[in-house]
Structure formats: C-alpha cells, structure tokens
Structure 1
C-alpha cells in the first residue's frame, strides 16, 4: 500500500526542499504540503497543498483523515532570533503543534512522525567542542527551551505509548533555494547573496564565532535516511546529534574570497551574538553514524562552490 505523507510548515527553509525531495521519491500526489500561508511557485505547482494552522488539532485531524496520512513531518516552528522577540507565541506554536502530532500518533491515526530538534537545546554550560550526544543542556533561549522540552516529550510518547517519533538536532542550515527564517545562523546564507550582489556583507556575529553548520542537501538526506531506517535501528528517541562542518564567519568569508577576491566582510555583532555564544562550536554525531549510517558529504569549500554557482545562475 502506497503511503501518504503530510508536511506541516512546508513553506519554510527546510520544509520547501523537504517537500520537493519527498515528492520526487514518493510521487507528487502522495505528499501533502501544508502551512499557514502559501509557498513558492515551485512548491505550490508540484502537488496538493492545504492551508493549516499547526496549533489547530481539529483541522489537522481532518486533513490526516481526508488524505489517509500515515507519516507526518512537523517542520513548523518559530526559530531562535524571532522567538526571543515573541516568547509566548514561539512557545505556543512550537509546543502545541508537537502535542497535536504526538497525540495523533498515540491514537494510532498516524504511524510515524519526524520532528526536528536543534543545536539550540545546548546552553552555556554544555561542552563546546565535539558536544556529545548525552550532556549538560540548560538552553538559555526560548527556542532552545521549547526544543529541549520537545525532545523529552518525544521520548516520553515513544516509551509510554510506542509512538514512532524520530528526530535530529539540526545545526545551522545553508541553502541557495530558500531564504532562512529568523535563526541565529542566517548569516551563513545571507553572506552569499550579498557577496554576489554587493561584494560586501556586514555580519551580525563576531568573526571568530565557530558554529556547527550543514548544507541543505545533507540535511534533507539525513531526514529521509532516519525516516527510512528500521525502527530497531533508531536507538535515540529524544533527538540525534548531527554534524557536517564547523566554521567561523571569517573562515566563510575567506572561502568566498577565494572565488570572489573583491569581497569584503565587516562585523557588527547584535543580540544574536549572545545566542551563538551559548551554542556548541562542533558536534559529535557518532550515534547517528553507528545507528543508521549517517555521513555528511558537504564541507565548507564544496558548500561555497555550490552556493555561488547556483545563486549566480
């Protein structure tokens, strides 16, 4: 029997590319995109779309029943920088949407759930280098608090109700297809657009702020890979550490200057610096490698090349 998949938050930075990847794999009509607003032309033209408020359980339940959905990817969330401005709105969206989906799983109305966590679950007391899978967390942002709470609830619903929920802690994500949505690592996408348009960029983080990052193709591949793995392979039911590369804004600027020698970078740190300072500079993802065969393909040089080539054209 062919499965039907629902993506909630399909118009966001990850959701857009994930929708298209799933449609190319399972067929356009078998992947239902949904969001609170319409998305890009390519997304809207590629298959079924529903306007959906992720915090509305009845509306969600109706779509699940109508399309006979078996898998849900919950990508709707308010990200780190935006969540600091609207704490209660962020908490309500990030937590209520998760409970809605977990409860559908508990009631056996869906079979499998993907929910993304983030490096934001870590805090100032977390070991900064090669942050292990299990460690001190103590997040200091609204987004991080909601993600850490979400991890605990995912594990709880798996242990108590056998809900097949799977999760990875995304690092900062870099894509040429979609613009970022209010996160602390957004500079790593904006920089390429400004490098090509103006040969200059003013970064909102200090030049030596190392953060874990990942090219979007790797993130999508990891998401599909964990969801396609046998249930017994998924030994972590909170969320898996995931790693690809770590670099500073200065290192990123240098990688751009190798192709665009006239590119200039300035630094004017803002409130996002404090958020970045509370996060790890690199991640140990041994568990993901061992349990379901994860391995990143993109480093900084390959990412820069891919971004500049695609954005230029």
Structure 2
C-alpha cells in the first residue's frame, strides 16, 4: 500500500447522526474538508453504497476486554445489532455470542484484518486491543507487538479504507516530568512504561496521518475506568475495581498502592458515553485529535471511606507493589479536560458518591444472581 496516493477522511456530515443535524458551532476559521475516493472493490463498494450515511458499520478490536462489550451494546442500540462487530482472539461467552456478531480477529494478522474490514463494509473502527500498564511491564516484547505493531496495522487499514478510527489513550501516556495537577491536553509527556510509550506513539501517529493524509483519527485519554461487570485486567488503577468485589465478598482488601495515591478515575458509563459522543462529533467541532476526559480524582483511602458508608465492616490494608506504585507516582493526579468540554460538550455524570453507590449495588446484585454470599 502506498500511503501518499490518497487523501481519505470522510467529511463530518458523512457520519453525523440524525439527532445532531441542524446543529452548528463556530470555532474560528472553517477547517479543510477531506474527501475519499475508495478503490473499487466489488462487494465492499456495494455494501458501503447500501449503508445509510448516519448508520456506520463498526468493528471493535480487543472487544472482550473491559470496554468492548459495553460499547458494542450501546452502538447496537443506536445502529442495529448487525452493524456492530465485536472481535478478539479469545473465546467469547454464550452471552456475547447471542448479543450480536462476533469474529476472531488478531490485530497482528494484517491480511485477515483487511479481509474482515473489506468483506463487512466497515466504516468505523474502534481499536481496543492493547496490553495494559502492569501486564505490559511484565512482557515488554509482547506489549510492543500488540500495542505498536497492531496499532500500525489498524492505522494503515483505516487510511486505505477511509475509516473513522478511534484509538483510546490513557493516563499512562504521561510521565514524571508532566504537569500533574492538572495535566493539560498538550504538554511534556515522556512516560516510563511500554504501555505509555505505545500510547504516545499512537497519539502522534494518528495526528500525523490526519494532518498529512486526512485520516479521521480520534483519541481520548481515559483515566482509570471502573466497571462492575468486568474483572481487573492488569492495570495500575485496577485496585479501584477489586476493592468493591472484596468489600462484598470478604470485607477485606489489600491495596497495592499507598493510601494517599491520588489518580483520575471514571465510571464506565461515563467512559462509554464520552466515546460515543466524541465519535459522533463533526470534525469541524474538533480543535484537537487527542483529548483528556475527566470525571473525578480520589485516593485508595478516600474510596475506602466512601465504601464504608455502605459496608462499615470493610477493612483495608496497604502493601505497596514497587512496580505499580512507581507507575502511579509518575501519572497525573487530575486531568484538565476543558478542551473536551468546550469543543464537543463533554460533561461527566458520576462523582465519587454516585460511583460507589452504583458499583456496590451492581456487584451485590450480580453476586446474588450467581448465588454467591454477600458480605
């Protein structure tokens, strides 16, 4: 593939949902519109021509991680079950298989991924495949392959097929020399983990391809994301999920961070809503390609105290893990997300009280349904 031969970001109106039509915003001088002239490929061309402009065909990679299934459910409600394809290299549960299309997809297999995109007329790509911070430090070679080689594969395919592509970044994209309270969208980053390095690389590659070739690249820096429906996946902020499970199962939790370690956090419902709203936003609204999003910031001690309002018997001990503590100490304690709030109207719903109440309710309900004891 020769990248320099095509300019291929669809105009904003091409994917603008019906409920956003008629709205307009003024953000300085008009931005350049890009056009796309896809190479005729038979079935792909026929499928795209038959697809409503406000009903994208979405592929989600790494879909069995913390975020994929929930995002797929939201997008399927908006665009139809068959228009959102979940993919991963792991075996899905019966529930995932019954919820909508699922396919095996390895982001390191360029040819197979290309066939999947072409044969299904994909127009939006959400790239969730990645090894997280602590897991990545334990296997740097694998993290480099998945987080960087896999990223290049999906970026190349998005450029070739004129896709709108979303690649999440993270709090981990910042380092000890970054401003910490708050961290702005644009500043020194210099992370000290392979996870963070790969995310900064993704931010810069996506921005480069946007400015040089018109790729419709979009990226949000997520804080720690907290969900009752997925188990911790090897991230440094995962204590903030495990503590809820432990509170309702044993009443005891051993935290691997110091009690005063403050980090940005977000309820998964806010994370999904931010992603969907950002994907819907017309390009003319966006002054950046990568935005911080924020909701709250707390320490292990603060979340434990809030949980004790509902589970008074919770006992928390602290045994600092050197690797995770080092990572956490290099990250911001708060995000400045003023650009996201200004450009496309981002506003979180959940604060700490609402987060704790919802997490305890959801996990208690889940344990009861599964016949498990509740502390």
State TM-score, norm by structure 1.
Answer: 0.98
Q: Which among 151, 165, 177 is matched to residue 203 of structure 2? A: 151
For the pair 1:266 / 2:314, whether they are aligned, the reply is no
C-alpha deviation, 1:164, in angstroms? 0.1
Aligned partners of 1:10, 1:266: CA distance in 2, in Å? 34
Contact conserved, 1:16 with 1:178, CA < 8 A, in 2? no
Contact conserved, 1:129 with 1:281, CA < 8 A, in 2? yes
Q: Helix, strand or coil: the match of 2:56? A: coil
Q: Which among 179, 184, 188 is matched to residue 132 of structure 1? A: 184
C-alpha deviation, 1:179, in angstroms? 1.3
Contact conserved, 2:162 with 2:215, CA < 8 A, in 1? no
For the pair 1:302 / 2:302, whether they are aligned, the reply is no
Q: Which of 1 and 2 has greater Rg?
A: 2
Q: Which among 84, 93, 101 is matched to residue 40 of structure 1? A: 93
Q: Helix, strand or coil: the match of 2:64? A: coil
Q: Could you tell me which residue of structure 2 aligns to residue 160 of structure 1? A: 212
C-alpha deviation, 1:261, in angstroms? 0.6
C-alpha deviation, 1:180, in angstroms? 2.5
Contact conserved, 2:220 with 2:293, CA < 8 A, in 1? yes
Aligned partners of 1:293, 1:283: CA distance in 2, in Å? 16
Q: Which among 71, 76, 82 is matched to residue 23 of structure 1? A: 76
Q: Could you tell me which residue of structure 2 aligns to residue 219 of structure 1? A: 271
C-alpha deviation, 1:39, in angstroms? 2.6
Q: Helix, strand or coil: the match of 2:68? A: helix
Mark the runs of 5 or more structure 2 residues left unpaired by the alignment: 1-51, 366-375
Q: Which among 103, 111, 117 is matched to residue 169 of structure 2? A: 117
C-alpha deviation, 1:105, in angstroms? 2.3
Q: Could you tell me which residue of structure 2 aligns to residue 8 of structure 1? A: 61
Q: Helix, strand or coil: the match of 2:208? A: helix
C-alpha deviation, 1:38, in angstroms? 2.2
Deviations 1:127-178 (A, max 9, x none): 1111111111110111000001111101001011100010100000000111
Aligned partners of 1:251, 1:94: CA distance in 2, in Å? 33
Contact conserved, 1:38 with 1:44, CA < 8 A, in 2? no
Q: Helix, strand or coil: the match of 1:265? A: strand
Aligned partners of 1:31, 1:110: CA distance in 2, in Å? 17
Mark the runs of 5 or more structure 1 residues left unpaired by the alignment: none
Deviations 1:252-275 (A, max 9, x none): 000100001111100001020100
Aligned partners of 2:113, 2:56: CA distance in 1, in Å? 18
Q: Which among 64, 80, 104 is matched to residue 133 of structure 2? A: 80
Q: Which among 216, 222, 242 is matched to residue 293 of structure 2? A: 242
Q: Aligned ranges for residues 284-295 of structure 1 at < 5 Å? A: 284-295=336-347
Q: Could you tell me which residue of structure 2 aligns to residue 232 of structure 1? A: 284
Q: Could you tell me which residue of structure 2 aligns to residue 281 of structure 1? A: 333
Structure 1, 68-77 or 15-24: larger mean CA deviation: 15-24
Aligned partners of 1:10, 1:278: CA distance in 2, in Å? 28
State TM-score, norm by structure 2.
Answer: 0.82
Q: Helix, strand or coil: the match of 1:188? A: helix
Aligned partners of 2:168, 2:176: CA distance in 1, in Å? 21
Q: Helix, strand or coil: the match of 1:102? A: helix
Q: Which among 171, 183, 197 is matched to residue 223 of structure 2? A: 171
Contact conserved, 1:69 with 1:110, CA < 8 A, in 2? no
C-alpha deviation, 1:15, in angstroms? 1.1
Size of the aligned set, in residue pairs, is 311
Aligned partners of 1:265, 1:282: CA distance in 2, in Å? 24
Q: Could you tell me which residue of structure 2 aligns to residue 191 of structure 1? A: 243
Aligned partners of 1:70, 1:224: CA distance in 2, in Å? 15
Deviations 1:236-259 (A, max 9, x none): 12x211100000000000010000
